[in-house]
Chains A and B, each alone.
Chain A
């Protein structure tokens, strides 16, 4: 399993179509992992691009660490990962909290980011995201897995429930994730967000509570376009083909000269 040693953390990384001319790095959301992209969306993009997926610290198969879940630390990790993989510049796609990581990356290291796609990035000043943490309980967890987790449609058995329970226990009780997220409340009002000049696609589920966040970003980021897709906050899981198509059209549009062959099948 490719686990890469970075200065501050060890991250689980998966790469598709490593020969692609340009690179897209995809960032997943809180309490999720790279599998949210791996099966459908990433292979669609890999027909045209090198695609790099990674598990955030404390998530998936990456190292469990106690601190550094704020956007500055997260973008330090991403910059270190790009350095380690020899990627000078990449397009970024981020989902939910991963969308905020992508925005922060464009704000902090504008020269290293090509285009920017934000899926369901929540305004951290809205209480929705943080409320999920505050109402945490085992009962809540079961409800969450059945209704909101990326694994929504995968039946959660006992082992999975316990595995998820351990992940939440770890992240909530043994790490700084809660205070790190709370400390980002003012992020959308940061002048650095309004100064993002990258071509930006904002994709939100039309039924999602996060649509107002999308409208806020659309009003602040000059070179952005808001697209509503059928679904709610889980739209990448509900409509992977729609999201994959939107992302492909967005990233490919001006770069068709770089189109590479699809991953070869077995015949």
Chain B
């Protein structure tokens, strides 16, 4: 739908901004205002996202960055403890590698 046509590789900052926007859409602006979202933020501990919110976030990532990244497949190789530890920067790095 809003798939991005990439002429050039996105920088880490640009990816971070996009992911930040998705997080805001998933958990709501009123909660995000109270948080300091950084690349070092972890999904479950810092952002307090639960599994269904991570699903919603994953779908936004897939729809936006397109089919050349297999975000769900990447996540499925992690066990739950790794998903709990997952930080925004891990995803930023993954998306950069896939570009």
Q: A263 touches which one: B31, B68, B73 (CB < 8 A)?
A: B73
Say whether chain B's binding surface is mostly helix, strand, loop, or mixed.
helix
| Highest count of chain B CB atoms <10 Å: which of A39, A262, A265 | A39
Q: Are A14 and B98 in contact (CB under 8 A)?
A: no
Chain A residues within an 8 Å CB radius of B50: 35, 151, 154, 160, 163
Q: Are A155 and B56 in contact (CB under 8 A)?
A: no
Closest A-chain residue to B28, C-beta based?
Answer: A159
| Highest count of chain B CB atoms <10 Å: which of A40, A150, A159, A263 | A159
Asked if B38 lies at the interface with its beta carbon under 8 angstroms from chain A, I say no
Q: B55 touches which one: A34, A240, A262, A266 (CB < 8 A)?
A: A34
Q: How far is the CA of A150 from the CA of B27 in the complex (A)?
A: 19
Q: How far is the CA of A55 from the CA of B27 in the complex (A)?
A: 18
Q: How far is the CA of A38 from the CA of B72 in the complex (A)?
A: 8
Q: How far is the CA of A38 from the CA of B56 in the complex (A)?
A: 11
Query: How far is the CB of A10 from the nearest CB of chain B, in Å?
Result: 15
Q: Are A39 and B76 in contact (CB under 8 A)?
A: yes
Closest A-chain residue to B60, C-beta based?
Answer: A1
Chain A residues within an 8 Å CB radius of B69: 266
Closest A-chain residue to B45, C-beta based?
Answer: A155
Q: Mark B28-54, 1 if CB is under 8 A from A, else 0.
A: 000100000000000011001011101
Query: How far is the CB of B13 from the nearest CB of chain A, in Å?
Result: 21
Q: How many residues of B contact A (CB 8 A)?
A: 30
Within 8 A of B (CB), among A1-55: 1-2, 14, 16, 33-36, 38-40, 43-44, 55
Asked if B75 lies at the interface with its beta carbon under 8 angstroms from chain A, I say yes
Q: Are B76 and A266 in contact (CB under 8 A)?
A: no
Q: Are B48 and A159 in contact (CB under 8 A)?
A: yes
Q: Are B70 and A35 in contact (CB under 8 A)?
A: no
Q: Mark B45-89, 1 if CB is under 8 A from A, else 0.
A: 100101110111011000000001110111110111101100000
| A-B contacts, 17 listed (Cβ < 8 Å) | A14-B55, A16-B72, A33-B51, A33-B55, A34-B52, A38-B51, A39-B72, A61-B56, A154-B51, A155-B44, A157-B45, A157-B48, A163-B50, A262-B73, A265-B73, A266-B74, A267-B98
Of all A-B residue pairs in the complex, the 9 with the closest CB atoms, nearest first, are A35-B51, A43-B76, A157-B48, A266-B98, A33-B52, A35-B52, A263-B73, A159-B48, A266-B69
B-to-A contact residues, CB < 8 Å = 27, 31, 44-45, 48, 50-52, 54-56, 58-59, 68-70, 72-76, 78-81, 83-84, 94, 97-98
